[in-house]
């Protein structure tokens, strides 16, 4: 007989409503009816989460992904008890710890040592437990030399390392994580991910992040949230593909011309596989094809295009541009389409935000679609370093030993 798994978390038809207050336009009218009417006009309702239900079995690592404002963090705050649902019921079985902000509870005037005890207590650790783990916490954060220096003297990187290290030494039954693995430099981020991976066998994890690569590494199952509702509940690969399809192109131009009309505008961007079908995940060292659709509202001479790849910290990692290859296009009024091909993608595995621009004469920016899409890059070619660069080797000759 198959054992029925224990359920650590259960959300049953959970909804969360917020009231949004608007500025009062006029207070000239009097009387109760007029006051009620003005109150209604001054307030509107926003449902951050609506009718959400799911269960998390013991020992499972559940990821929750979605675009900004989708309701991910609200779900995590409901689970952590930071806020309460408007409707529905939440069941939690076991000791729960929530890491919603790295360094929460730190006081700038206290030393690192004192803040370890303060933050650990806030996160639910007993003083004796903190004493036993103190050396390990300091070693993990690599701040032993400065542990008796006030936190206000620390760099921002030292603060986040120490904050995560305290949280990483919790021993809860359920651990809630909200964007906390994207802290410190790349070496420390890997250290954080390795630590959380080691916790998978010890507790139930709920992890929220925009870093799809980290989600894929860590999570057995992933929920995709949009407009406060679950639109996909599937294994990590399937859910990430569904999310990338959902956010394939999000218009968010940074160019606001006089009169509000752009002479050229990018209207869509999609990734394709070598056969021309839509692709939502690519691999390092494999081909990448991108199709851009645009509309021109005037004749544009020497039009050029750029595609920019930013990592989760907003650092520009790569640019593909028509400018360096001196490929410019005369754009006629109307709709157009451009395809870009890269035979071997050199980016490391990870999740990347995409910017797309169109310009005139290589310097006048006509449209800039900021973070209009997301690309998930998975492991392909083995590599060491920040990127893979396509190259070839050729044997010139050998000399035989006499």
Q: How far apart are CA 145 and CA 138, in angstroms?
A: 9
pLDDT band at 181 (very low <50, low <70, confident <90, very high): low
Task: Please compute the mean of the pLDDT values over residues 87-104 and round it to a whole number.
Answer: 81
Q: What is the pLDDT of residue 383?
A: 66
Q: Residue 318 CB: number of other CB atoms within 10 A?
A: 15
pLDDT at residue 273 greater than cutoff 90: no
pLDDT at residue 165 greater than cutoff 80: yes
Q: How far apart are CA 263 and CA 297, in angstroms?
A: 5
Q: How far apart are CA 260 and CA 240, in angstroms?
A: 35
pLDDT exceeding 90 applies to what percent of the chain? 29
pLDDT band at 148 (very low <50, low <70, confident <90, very high): very high
Task: Please compute the mean of the pLDDT values over residues 57-75 and round it to a whole number.
Answer: 88
For residue 77, give Cα distances in angstroms to 71, 98, 145, 230, 232: 10, 9, 35, 16, 21
Strand 61-65 and strand 204-208: the pairing is parallel
| Domains 7-22+36-246 and 258-378 in one fold | no
Where are any strands of DSSP class E within 198-299? 204-208, 221-226, 229-235, 264-272, 281-283, 288-296
Query: What's the pLDDT tens digit per position in 214-228?
Result: 888 889 899 999 889
Higher pLDDT among residues 203 and 24, named by residue: 203
Give 397's DSSP letter: -
pLDDT at residue 348 greater than cutoff 90: no
pLDDT at residue 28 greater than cutoff 60: no
Task: Please compute the mean of the pLDDT values over residues 32-48 and round it to a whole number.
Answer: 67
Give 343's DSSP letter: S
pLDDT band at 337 (very low <50, low <70, confident <90, very high): very high
Q: How far apart are CA 184 and CA 161, in angstroms?
A: 6
Per the DSSP assignment, residues forming a β-bridge with 221 are: 62, 235
Q: How far apart are CA 290 and CA 307, in angstroms?
A: 9
Query: What's the pLDDT tens digit per position in 257-272?
Result: 766 678 899 999 988 8
pLDDT at residue 68 greater than cutoff 80: no
End-to-end CA distance of the chain: 73
pLDDT at residue 38 greater than cutoff 70: no
Q: What is the pLDDT of residue 245?
A: 75
- Asked if 375 contacts 328 with a C-beta cutoff of 8 angstroms, the reply is no
Q: What is the DSSP string of 57-71?
A: ETT-EEEEE-STTSS
Please calculate the CA angle 226-49-227 and round it to the nearest 5 degrees: 25
Q: What is the pLDDT of residue 113?
A: 94
Calculate helix-pair angle for 112-122, 127-141, nearest 10 degrees: 120
Q: Report the C-alpha dihedral over residues 328, 333, 336, 338, rounded to 10 degrees.
A: 10
Q: What is the pLDDT of residue 225?
A: 92
Per the DSSP assignment, residues forming a β-bridge with 296 are: 264, 334
Q: Which pTM does this prediction carry?
A: 0.69
CATH architecture of 258-378: Distorted Sandwich (2.70)
Task: Please compute the mean of the pLDDT values over residues 339-366 and round it to a whole number.
Answer: 86
Least confident of 29-33, 268-272, 337-341: 29-33
CATH 3.40.50.300 fits 7-22+36-246, yes or no: yes
- DSSP run (H or E) holding 178: strand 174-178
- DSSP run (H or E) holding 44: strand 43-57
Residues 6+ apart with CB under 8 A from 392: none
Q: Which residues of 92-109 are buried (b: 16+ CB within 10 A; e: fewer)?
A: beeebbbbbebbeebeee
Domain range summary for the chain, segments of one domain joined by +: 7-22+36-246, 258-378
Q: How far apart are CA 178 and CA 71, in angstroms?
A: 12
Query: What's the pLDDT tens digit per position in 236-259?
Result: 988 988 887 777 777 778 777 766
pLDDT band at 188 (very low <50, low <70, confident <90, very high): confident
Q: Mean pLDDT for the chain? A: 83
């Amino acid at each position: 007989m198959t054992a029925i798994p224990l359920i650590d978390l259960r959300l049953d038809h959970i909804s969360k409503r917020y009231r949004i207050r608007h500025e009062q336009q006029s207070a000239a009218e009097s009387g109760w009816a007029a006051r009620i009417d003005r109150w209604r006009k001054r307030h509107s309702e926003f449902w951050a989460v609506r009718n959400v239900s799911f269960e998390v079995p013991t020992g499972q690592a559940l990821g929750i992904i979605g675009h900004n404002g989708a309701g991910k963090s609200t779900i995590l705050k409901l689970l952590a008890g930071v806020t309460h649902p408007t409707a529905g019921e939440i069941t939690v079985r076991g000791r729960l710890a929530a890491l919603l902000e790295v360094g929460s509870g730190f006081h700038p005037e206290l030393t690192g040592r004192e803040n370890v005890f303060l933050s650990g207590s806030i996160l639910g650790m007993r003083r004796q437990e903190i004493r036993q783990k103190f050396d390990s916490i300091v070693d993990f954060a690599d701040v032993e030399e400065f542990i008796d220096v006030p936190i206000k003297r620390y760099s921002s990187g030292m603060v986040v390392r120490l904050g995560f290290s305290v949280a990483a030494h919790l021993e809860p039954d359920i651990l809630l994580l909200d964007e906390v693995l994207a802290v410190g430099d790349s070496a420390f981020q890997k250290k954080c991910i390795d630590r959380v991976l080691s916790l998978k066998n010890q507790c139930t994890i709920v992890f929220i992040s925009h870093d799809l690569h980290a989600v894929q590494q860590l999570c057995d199952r992933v929920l995709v949230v949009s407009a406060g509702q679950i639109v996909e509940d599937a294994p990590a690969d399937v859910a990430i593909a569904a999310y990338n399809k959902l956010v394939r192109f999000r218009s968010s131009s940074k160019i606001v011309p006089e009169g509000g009309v752009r002479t050229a505008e990018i209207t869509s961007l999609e990734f394709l596989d070598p056969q021309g079908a839509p692709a939502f995940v690519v691999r390092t060292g494999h081909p990448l094809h991108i199709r851009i659709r645009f509309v021109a509202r005037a004749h544009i001479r020497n039009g050029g295009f750029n595609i920019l790849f930013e990592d989760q910290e907003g650092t520009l990692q790569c640019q593909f541009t028509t400018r360096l290859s001196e490929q410019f296009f005369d754009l006629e009024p109307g709709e157009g389409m451009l395809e870009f091909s890269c035979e071997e993608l050199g980016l490391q595995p990870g999740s990347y935000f995409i910017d797309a621009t169109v310009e005139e004469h290589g310097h006048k920016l006509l449209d800039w679609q900021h973070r209009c899409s997301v690309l998930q890059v998975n492991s392909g070619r083995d590599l060491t370093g920040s990127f893979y660069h396509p190259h070839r080797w050729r044997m010139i000759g050998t000399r035989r030993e006499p």
